[in-house]
Amino acid sequence: AQSVTQLGSHVSVSEGALVLLRCNYSSSVPPYLFWYVQYPNQGLQLLLKYTSAATLVKGINGFEAEFKKSETSFHLTKPSAHMSDAAEYFCAVSGNNDMRFGAGTRLTVKP
Amino acid sequence: NAGVTQTPKFQVLKTGQSMTLQCAQDMNHEYMSWYRQDPGMGLRLIHYSVGAGITDQGEVPNGYNVSRSTTEDFPLRLLSAAPSQTSVYFCASSYDRGDEAFFGQGTRLTVV
């Protein structure tokens, strides 16, 4: 079965600084990879997804992620953090017929 | 366009009680899943379905049952509630495994 590891349960950045959230995956078949965001007391919303069309994927709100097969990684970045980016972020992998999530990274943005 | 609808939003159960969490989607999605979310553990897959009449176990299936008699509905049954099942439960659906999963707003369950 596929799995995801998110490095760092909590990341804190200053407003305007680079955001880097790390995700490594394991899958026995070519994976589909996703990043979701969760705001307090809400469900999950899709930020972006990788489906093998391009290794650099652009998502909503200025986020992007790069698929690196050799490193089995799919790290999420944003050049300049905004206060509204404070939320919990989940990396997910879809291999066979199910989608598995990482433990999540809580992003705090300091003014 | 309702998307994925979960009911109830909140529930308190006593240990040993049974209940069904309801999930319905109106997007004609084949794939549906149930997850539980616990602090520091992300979302863990309980059961999933790839179409009507087909279900399979995820990472943490013990204590839960599911059925998929229609494309639209995917109820989750707790057979005999335990305090360890206190969690937030999310239902999700997608058209295919490579597509975006749409999530319900969640059910916050407390077992006392």
Tell me the per-residue pLDDT of B47-69, one tens digit each, with 9 for 90 and over: 999 999 999 999 999 999 999 99
Longest dimension (CA), chain B: 39
* Cβ count near B35 (within 10 Å): 27
Scored b (16 or more CB within 10 A) or e, B83-99 reads eebbbbbbbbbbeebbb
Minimum CA–CA partner of B57 in chain A: A98
CA separation for the pair A101, B33 (Å, rounded): 12
Residue A95 — very low, low, confident or very high, per pLDDT cuts 50/70/90?
A: confident
The reply to whether residue B97 touches residue A101, judged by beta carbons under 8 angstroms, is no
Distance from CA of B49 to the nearest CA of A (A): 8
Distance from CA of A84 to the nearest CA of B (A): 20
> For the residues B1-16, what does the mean pLDDT come to?
93
Q: Determine the 3-state secondary structure of A62 from DSSP.
A: helix
CA separation for the pair B25, A102 (Å, rounded): 25
CA separation for the pair B86, B38 (Å, rounded): 9
The reply to whether residue A32 touches residue B40, judged by beta carbons under 8 angstroms, is no
Neighboring chain B residues of A103 at a CB cutoff of 8 Å: 40-42
Distance from CA of B46 to the nearest CA of A (A): 10
- How many residues are listed for chain B in this entry? 112
Q: What is the pLDDT of residues B72-101, one digit of tens each?
A: 999 999 999 999 999 999 999 999 877 889
Residue-level pLDDT at A56 = 94
CA separation for the pair B80, B35 (Å, rounded): 18
* Cβ count near A98 (within 10 Å): 21
The reply to whether residue B100 touches residue A46, judged by beta carbons under 8 angstroms, is yes
> For the residues A20-48, what does the mean pLDDT come to?
91
